[in-house]
Amino acid sequence: MEIVILDSAAAVGAHAGSRIAALVERTPDAVLGLATGSSPLGVYADLATRAAAGVDFSRVRGFALDEYVGIPLEHPESYASVIHRDVIEPLGLDPARVRVPDGRAADLRRACDDYEAAIVAAGGVDLQILGIGVNGHIGFNEPTSSLASRTRIKTLAPETREANARFFADPDDVPTHCVTQGLGTIMDAREIVLVAQGAAKAAAIAAIVEGPVSSMWPGSILQHHPRVHVVLDEAAAGDLRLSDYYRYTFDFKPSWQRDPV
């Protein structure tokens, strides 16, 4: 894992945004894996600035990680609405090229299988954007999720419903179930950029970066991925034991990469 520790949440968004924009400039129809939640909002804001400055996102294809089960599509907190509001519109994506799992299908299991097939048909995800839950979940893969799981129905953990209650008028309105890409699905992405900001994420970050790989901290499976970038502000990096080493590694340029004097 490449661990990048930056001095502000804004810098986290800009760093992740520059990596994503570089991919889109190289590959205009790149497939992006799109995360919801507050963590990636700075990344999308950075990308929106780049879109306004001329980076063309109109051919980018996208697959969202997850969706609540049973929530009306037009509900402002359905992930379909959130992706539309926070990603499709500000970046100028083509809505026809962006898919969100269907949480209202009559046959949810089949809809999950179709979603997996659609990702494969698109050629797989080039770059997956991730946030992380306080319990280490990625997507909605809650603790004890199979490390090999595919897109499926999950029950939300109590701490996740509590964390997401801020988006709903009444805590009881938070859905109890979701459909989410599995950990196996996420691991198939060719590159992964995970962003986290704030002290509330410090324990989860330390567990997934420096702890053992365990389904109790689902994000720890990323230790098995060859191209993961974990981009953190100082507070989210607060519990890392080896933070000085990560800083040194990130700042270090071997002699052959240094600018000539």
**Single residue of 9, 21, 44, 66 touching ligand GLP by CB under 6 A:** 66
Contact status: 149 vs ligand GLP (CB under 6 A):
no
Catalytic residue of the set 102, 116, 142, 188: 142
Name the catalytic one among 137, 164, 188, 233: 137
* Rounded Cα–Cα distance for residues 107 and 113 (Å): 10
Residues 162-201 that bind ligand GLP (CB under 6 A): 164
* Position 187, amino acid: M
Catalytic annotation present for 162: no
CA 185 to chain centre: 13
Which range in 48-56, 128-136, 184-192, 250-258 contacts ligand GLP by CB under 6 A? 128-136
Cα–Cα distances in Å, from 236 out to 87, 142, 201, 225, 239? Answer: 24, 20, 5, 21, 8
Report d(CA 155, CA 81) in Å as an integer: 21
Assess 69 for contact with ligand GLP (CB under 6 A).
no
- Asked if 155 touches ligand GLP (CB under 6 A), the answer is no
Q: Which residues contact 154 (CB under 8 A, 6 or more apart)?
A: 140, 141, 142, 145, 177, 178, 179, 180
Q: Name the nearest CA neighbour of 162 among 152, 151, 173, 154.
A: 173
Nearest distance, CB of residue 35 and ligand GLP, angstroms: 5
> Which residues, other chains included, contact 122 with Cβ-Cβ below 8 Å and sequence gap of 6+?
31, 61, 63
**Span from 107-115, 130-138, 234-242, 247-255 in contact with ligand GLP (CB under 6 A):** 130-138
Provide long-range contacts, Cβ within 8 A and 24+ apart, for 109-117: 109/152, 109/153, 111/179, 112/150, 112/151, 112/152, 112/153, 112/179, 113/151, 115/63, 115/151, 115/179, 115/181, 116/150, 116/151, 116/185
Out of 5, 35, 43, 112, the residue judged to bind ligand GLP by CB under 6 A: 35
Number of residues forming the site for ligand GLP (CB under 6 A) = 14
Q: Which is nearer to ligand GLP, 66 or 188 (CB)?
A: 66
Task: List the one residue from 57, 63, 68, 140 that touches ligand GLP (CB under 6 A).
Answer: 140
Based on CB atoms, which residue is closest to ligand GLP, 17 or 37? Answer: 37
Shortest Å, Cβ 21 to ligand GLP:
21
State the nearest-atom distance from the C-beta of 143 to ligand GLP, in Å: 13
62 binds ligand GLP (CB under 6 A): no
For ligand GLP, the binding residues (CB under 6 A) are 35-39, 65-66, 131-133, 139-140, 160, 164
Residues acting as catalytic residues:
66, 135, 137, 142
